[in-house]
Amino acid sequence: MPQNIDSILQENRLFPPTTDFAKSATIDESKLQALYQQAEDDHEGFWASLARDELNWDKPFSTTLNSHNAPHYRWFEDGELNVSYNCIDRHLADKADKTAIIFEGEQGDTRHITYAELHRDTCRFANALKAQGVETGDRVVIYMPMVPEAVIAMQACARIGAIHSVVFGGFSAEALKNRIDDASAKVLITADGGHRGGKIVELKAAADKALENCGESLQKVIVLKRTQHDIPMKAGRDIWWSDAIADVNDKCTPVSVNAEHPLFLLYTSGSTGKPKGIQHSSAGYLLGTIMTMKWVFDHRPDDIFWCTADVGWITGHSYVAYGPLAVGGTIMIYEGAPTVPDTGRFWKLCEDHKITVFYTAPTAIRALMKSGDEVPNKYDLSSIRLLGTVGEPINPEAWMWYHEVIGKARCPIVDTWWQTETGANMISPIPGVTATKPGSCTRALPGMALDVVDDEGNSITTPDKGGLLVIRKPWPSMLRGIWGDDARYVETYWGMFDNRFYVAGDSARRDQDGYFWIMGRIDDVLNVSGHRLGTMEVESALVAHPAVVEAAVVGRPDEIKGETIFAYVVLKGERPADGIDDALTLELRNWVGEQIGAIAKPGNIRYADNLPKTRSGKIMRRLLRTIASGEEITSDTSTLENEAILLQLQGKE
């Protein structure tokens, strides 16, 4: 994290919501207290009543929570509903002509899609999926640029009860292949490409490569024409999106699925080399996104809501494709990079489309902050009323810039802590009520039982004492498991405290006001530009290269990205002079890019004869982290098997 822990410990500036904001906010102090009280008095009853009020059920549920097989919790399990119906159809009576999606491509092309049009397009595409053989429960992989069709594809899957697995367009062919195989997906939806950074992202080329050695499951590829450049189509397997929807009906009856029916899988990194397919439910997941749209984003009918995340991440699921539509909102989708044609693009989009709620990541804020105040100051940002941040702890300096330069000290900032696994925001300010502190995500939301505990699982009550972030009670939008690996689900999230509570994998502390401060991961997971990457994943990619014998990967603090990847590599051949070999480094970076994706490319690679190990052979990553960040080693290293290697690793030999 690019921040000095001492300066954060002293951070005590308090920013209460402005009177203007507080006056008009949907949740005020007394409503919030009532919500906390209800949740406290009757956790299940609290969620049951919200689920009845906020979701349209085809068959009402009679049991709220089934904990018999904990930690395999089931919410509203005998109820039935359809997520796409809840996001689209139920708004048609009074919002058919309301804009659901405002789209702008990187090259400036724009589209407005009403709820009626979204309904028609979703129905058509759902019918097209059925025509291609997709049935309820089948897995469909979506590998798309950030265009409305990505959301339409997700909604169409939900409509017929197919389980989507969106793979971020920046992931490589190899990563795509692994995800297709792990889920035994039947259909892949992709595009001829997307526009990003002034270039075409060759999605179809990557898809073709992935499919060369995929398993048997995959039968069809549906390809959207986005860039219109020439790409090969494989007869019998590939079909254009436009052809797939050409002869289908405009109506598609939504399939009633069980509340617990899997809505989607989303792969995320953990502490082994293999990403986990996080499985989410239908009803509970949607309820989490709806409640947080209301509580955290203070949703109002005339909002233009822009969450800048790609649909390849959980943020793009919960706050692009599902939550804002479920509440009948208008979302903004932007296809391209924030720097095209210049670093004012985000602010220009805010001005042009009159964005009211803007939700992005600290890494983007820091990068845009670097380009100077004069860039945002050129644009009219007066439509913005609320700002949000997510993905990693935000350093107070970036928070203050966001507050002053973008929010003009008018807009509350909601710093939302949550995870792929939690499905929706868990810790966040309530914008009309909570006085915020730069760098703190403040308090747990109603019905979310967050706590900080010590190694024995006892709640830590001493202010500012760090511990493990846990969730004491199940919540509706929680993950339901890891696809195909139940043992890993139980072990990763519940094993530490005998299934009693969910272990988030973050360390945190609470200050004297009870505010949460997230301190970082406790496992071997890095946070690069707000995206989770497992050190083991990068290490396995490196050792798969013929020249590499062993590799250790650690995070190095970075001013903009939060962390960058520093890799220590032992080669089969001789160690290059001074541990540096630019040509090989370039090759290995590209290699990792091919194995995982560009975000996983190490920023630095240093070659060594060996790695620092304990006598039992465990690599001491802690020492490597210290070295990578350029700090002096102060701990005792005499227990190392090969203490002398430290000098070489530090470049002192």
Q: Which of residues 257-286 bind ligand WT7 (CB under 6 A)?
A: 268
Residue with smaller CB distance to ligand WT7, 518 or 569: 518
Report the site for ligand WT7 in 281-340 (rule: CB under 6 A): 314-315
Tell me which H or E stretch contains 608. strand 604-608
Q: Which stretch binds ligand WT7 (CB under 6 A): 326-334, 340-348, 527-535, 629-637?
A: 527-535
Least separation in angstroms between residue 226's CB and ligand WT7 is: 26
Using CB under 6 A as the binding criterion, the count of chain residues that bind ligand WT7 stands at 23
Decide: 134 and 215 in contact? Cβ < 8 Å. Answer: no
Q: How many CB atoms lie within 10 A of CB 236?
A: 8
- Residue 360: other Cβ atoms inside 10 A: 23
Task: Report which of 52, 28, 175 is spatially closest to residue 537, judged by C-alpha positions.
Answer: 175
Among 381, 390, 450, 620, binds ligand WT7 (CB under 6 A): 390
Hey, how many other C-beta atoms are within 10 angstroms of the C-beta on 42? 13
Nearby residues of 459 by Cβ (< 8 Å), 6 or more positions away: 451, 452, 453
Least distance (Å) from ligand WT7 to the CB of residue 266? 9
Query: Of 430 and 518, which has the nearer Cβ to ligand WT7?
Result: 518
- Helix residue ranges per DSSP H, 438-532: 486-493
Does an H or E element contain 306, and which?
strand 304-307
Contacts (CB under 6 A) with ligand WT7, residues 20-49? none
Structure tokens at 86: 């809840």
3-state percent helix, strand, coil for the chain, nearest multiple of 5: 35, 25, 45
Among 395, 420, 492, 564, binds ligand WT7 (CB under 6 A): 420
Nearer to ligand WT7, 241 or 417 (CB): 417
The least distance separating ligand WT7 from the CB of residue 392, rounded to whole angstroms, comes to 5
Contact window for ligand WT7 (CB under 6 A) among 95-103, 114-122, 199-207, 504-512: 504-512
If binding is defined by CB under 6 A, does position 506 make contact with ligand WT7? yes
Q: Smaller CB distance to ligand WT7: residue 384 or 426?
A: 426
Q: Which of 518, 551, 569, 627 binds ligand WT7 (CB under 6 A)?
A: 518
- Can you list the positions of beta strands (E) in 144-237? 163-166, 187-191, 194-196, 199-201, 220-224
Peptide bond into 396 cis (omega under 30): no
**Residue 415 makes contact with ligand WT7 by CB under 6 A:** yes
Of all residues in this chain, which one has the CB nearest to ligand WT7 in the complex? 420
> What is the smallest separation between the CB atom of 193 and ligand WT7, expressed in angstroms?
25
Which span sits near ligand WT7 by CB under 6 A: 104-112, 411-419, 456-464, 622-630?
411-419
Q: What angle do CA 514, 557, 519 make, to 5 degrees?
A: 15
Asked whether the beta carbons of 267 and 167 are under 8 A apart, the reply is yes
**Interaction of residue 419 with ligand WT7, rule CB under 6 A:** yes
Closest to ligand WT7 by CB, 257 vs 307, is 307
| Cβ-based neighbours of 431, under 8 Å, separated by 6 or more | 17, 21, 25, 296, 297, 298, 386, 412, 414
Nearest residue to 621 via CA among 558, 538, 548, 508? 538
Do residues 370 and 400 make contact, with C-beta atoms less than 8 angstroms apart? Answer: no
Question: Going by C-beta distance under 8 Å and a sequence separation of 6 or more, which residues neighbour residue 181?
Answer: 214, 215, 217
Binding segment (CB under 6 A) for ligand WT7, from list 123-131, 241-249, 529-537, 576-584: 529-537
Residues paired with residue 387 on neighbouring β-strands, in sequence order: 358, 413
Contact 308, 572 (CB under 8 A): no
Q: Which string of x and - marks every residue 446-485 that binds ligand WT7 (by CB under 6 A)? A: ----------------------------------------
Q: Closest approach of Cβ 424 to ligand WT7, in Å?
A: 9
Q: Which of 172, 416, 529, 648 binds ligand WT7 (CB under 6 A)?
A: 416
At its nearest, how many Å lie between ligand WT7 and the CB of residue 521?
5
Residue type, 496: M
Least CB distance to ligand WT7 at residue 269 (A): 8
> Considering beta carbons, is residue 122 or 420 the nearer one to ligand WT7?
420
- Determine the interface stretch with ligand WT7 among 299-307, 342-350, 479-487, 498-506 (rule: CB under 6 A): 498-506
Task: Identify which range of 128-136, 323-331, 525-533, 603-611 contacts ligand WT7 by CB under 6 A.
Answer: 525-533
Instruction: List the one residue from 347, 417, 502, 607 that touches ligand WT7 (CB under 6 A).
Output: 417
* Binding footprint of ligand WT7 on the chain (CB under 6 A): 268, 314-315, 390-393, 415-420, 441, 504-506, 518, 521, 527, 530-532
